[in-house]
Structure formats: C-alpha cells, structure tokens
Structure 1
Amino acid sequence: IVPTSKVGKKAAKNNKETLAIICVTDTPTSQIPAEPTYQKGVLACGSNTQALEVPEFMRIEEEKRRRRDEGKLNILSKIKGQQAFYLESGIFFAPTMSKLGMGVTDITGETTNYEYSVRRTKTELFNYAIAQKTASDPLKSYVGAVFIVPTSKVGKKAAKNNKEVLAIVCETNTPTSQIPAEPTYQKGVLACGSNTHSIPYSIP
C-alpha cells in the first residue's frame, strides 16, 4: 500500500494505491524465498527469484471477479454498518438525504460498474448497488435491507426501546441494470423480493 498522486479507478482512499508482484525462485527449493521489495516507485523480486508473469487470461478473469464482487461487498459493508450504527445510536446513518416518493432516497455514489443509492423510512433502510449498463460481461445488482422490528428479547441483539435490528442482502438471479425488488419482513420472516435471492450475510 503506497502513496499515489493519481485520482481515478486505481487510486484508493486517502491517496493510497495497491501494487502487487509474484516472484518464483530461480531453482527448485524448500527454503523460504527472499521477499519482494518496493523502493522509490519500483517493485522488485528478492535475491535468487524473478518476477512471474501472470497470464493474460488470469488477469482478465481477476478483473471480471473484481467487477462482480464490487457491488456485493459494498452493500454487505453498508448494511453491516447501518445495523451496527442503529444498535449504537437508535437511528439510521443517513446524511444529506432528500425526500423522494414514500421514503427518503439519496444517490450515494457511482463507479464504472455500479450506481449506489439508499432509501429509508423510520423503520426500514434499503441500500442498492445497481449495475451500470455495459456492452460486455453484464453484472448482477444487489439490495440490502435493515428492518427495525418489535422484540421481546433483551440482549446484545436487542436495540433500545425493545426493538430488534434485522438485516438481509439479496442478489438478482440474473445480470440486470434494473432496480432490484426490495426485501420484505412479514410475520417474523425476512425474504428477498421477486427475481432475487439471499446471499450469505458476511464479508470475506
């Protein structure tokens, strides 16, 4: 993780950039290879090793995987953050939002691959990652939801005023740039909307 003056797709937050290198030993060995270095803008393999060229097809597949995972990881992170924030403060974290329709909606960001938005009411919050229209390798879209529901439980998962915070994240069944159907909570059951399915609620 190194400082960078670039601003764009490859530049991370706080002006940091991630660089990587893979090295292979010059000869077969069971010894720990020398570690690569980064000095004055140059990546280099250690002694008795050389840089391994990553095949083009592997680079392409890795880029496809990164694009596919972007929306999913973004929504998982946001929903976990909203759930934790409500448990701590009793409100949703939703700055600079404006009224739109029946709820409150805000466009929270856009990348080459996804447009992100959020809609909330007093007891529900929905985060969206809507895939951008692309000519090739279309992507699935995602929606996560946090529901504030009455509960009789008293413990770590129970929020203030006898409320419980439940969450679910859903993925569209097929690639689409349409807004996915919102999840629901009815009679104690969380469910994804039409043409979507739930995904494990965890961040790798």
Structure 2
Amino acid sequence: MRQQKSKSNSILLKVYSILLKGCGCLLLVFIGFIGCHLFVSPLFFSFGIKDKQVEIFVDSFVRLANNLMQSEAIGYLRSMNKGQQAYFAETSAFSNSIPALGLGLETETNNYKYSTRATQTAAFNYAVSKKKTLNNYVGGVFLVPAKKLDPNARRDEMTTLTILCETEKRPFFRVKRTDEPDELAEPIYQNGEIICGKGTTQLTN
C-alpha cells in the first residue's frame, strides 16, 4: 500500500512540476507582453501590394505618452483659432501667416508641423504629425451671420465661429490606394452648422 501511495505521490509531483513549468512559461510570456506594451513604442508597419498600401498599427500603453505629445498640437490650434478671430476683428480679414497672428508660436516642433490657410470667409489651421503614431489636427474659423448666435443682431452683422477636428483613431489594419491623398479633410460650414471633414471628428473640450 505504501509503495502504491509513494508511486501516486511521485506521479502527482511530476504532474505539478509540469504544470508549474508550463504556467511559469505562460507567466513569463504574459510579463514580457505587458513589458513590451509599457516600455516599447507602438509598432507601425507599411508595405505595398500592387496598387494598394497596407498599413498595420499595433497600439500600446504608450498611448499615454502620445496623448501628451498630441496635447501640444491641440493647444497650438486652439491658440491659432483664437488668434485668427482676433486678427479678423482688427483687420476684417483672416491671415495666411502664423507669425502675423502675434502668438509667438513656432511653425515646427519635434512632433508637429504647423501651418495656416485663409480664404475670404474662413481660416484653416493645421497640425500635421511627424510621427505615424500621432493624430493630425485641423482647426477652422468661419465667418457666419451673427444672428446664428444672437437673434437681436443686425441682418448684415457677421461674427466668427471655431471648430477643432482630430483624425479618427488609426485602425489596426487598413488597405488604401497608393494614390489616395493623405491631406487632412477641412471642416465645412453647411446648412448653418460647422462640421468636421471626412475622416475627422470634433473635439469638444
């Protein structure tokens, strides 16, 4: 009986040992996976197949660092939108020059390139990322009838409204035409409302 028990115990010990080794390996894999997500930058792969461009984006917990870099662009464009409003209030026109807005902003940083474009009725401010893992942003300042905001305003009175749009979150996998443009879709003033362009969403805070 004792021999049978000792054999059974021996078998159980072997089974426990195998399970421990197996679970240990799985635990190491899990720890390694989490470590990569915590300390390694997001991965971005891009390659061509005939006339298609295949892009694979692997997200990670480095999103927190990305958010910090993207907050720079958001802050810049909000300032540029307000700068265009102030510039229009003084000159009755929008500006094609960032320095002319008098904000003391650089046109390029480590993370983004900034630019502005003006028409007679709107100004568009851009933050184009220098890194594939960061979102792009476009701000718009539109000349609209003041009555849209104040029913007591004169019929001919005009005012300015702003909007800030962000490119939609990059999908894990996408295929696009090689000749498909990468330009940011500008917001538009349509049916009395300002809306973000295709592929972008409005930032509300």
TM-score of the superposition, structure 2-length normalised? 0.53
Q: Hey, what does 2:73 align to over in structure 1?
A: 71
- CA shift for structure 1 position 174: 2.4
Distance 1:154 1:61 in 2: 38
Deviations for 1:136-188, whole angstroms, at most 9, x for unmatched residues?
xx100000001112334797xx79x6112111110000259933100000121
Q: Specify the code of the residue in structure 2 equivalent to 1:183.
A: P
> Any conservation in 2 of the 1:129–1:143 contact (CA below 8 Å)?
yes
Change (3 A) 1:179 1:71: farther
Q: Which has the higher contact order (CA 8 A, sep 6+)?
A: 2
Deviations for 1:102-153, whole angstroms, at most 9, x for unmatched residues?
xxxxxx711221111111111110000011135xxx1000000011123347
Any gaps of 5 or more consecutive residues in structure 1? 1-55, 98-107
TM-score of the superposition, structure 1-length normalised? 0.53
Residue identity over aligned pairs, in percent, reads 38
Query: Which of 157, 161, 165 lines up with 1:162 in the alignment?
Result: 157
> Any conservation in 1 of the 2:136–2:167 contact (CA below 8 Å)?
yes
Change (3 A) 1:113 1:175: farther
- 1:150 pairs with 2:145: yes
Any gaps of 5 or more consecutive residues in structure 2? 1-37, 40-61, 100-105, 172-180
RMSD of equivalent CA atoms = 3.5
Greater helix fraction, Structure 1 or Structure 2:
2
Q: Hey, what does 2:13 align to over in structure 1?
A: none
> Any conservation in 2 of the 1:130–1:179 contact (CA below 8 Å)?
no
Q: Specify the code of the residue in structure 1 equivalent to 2:83.
A: G
> Any conservation in 2 of the 1:144–1:169 contact (CA below 8 Å)?
yes
Query: Map of 1:177-192 to 2, 5 A cutoff?
Result: 178-192=182-196
- 1:196 pairs with 2:200: yes
Deviations for 1:16-74, whole angstroms, at most 9, x for unmatched residues?
xxxxxxxxxxxxxxxxxxxxxxxxxxxxxxxxxxxxxxxx97xx776443212111111
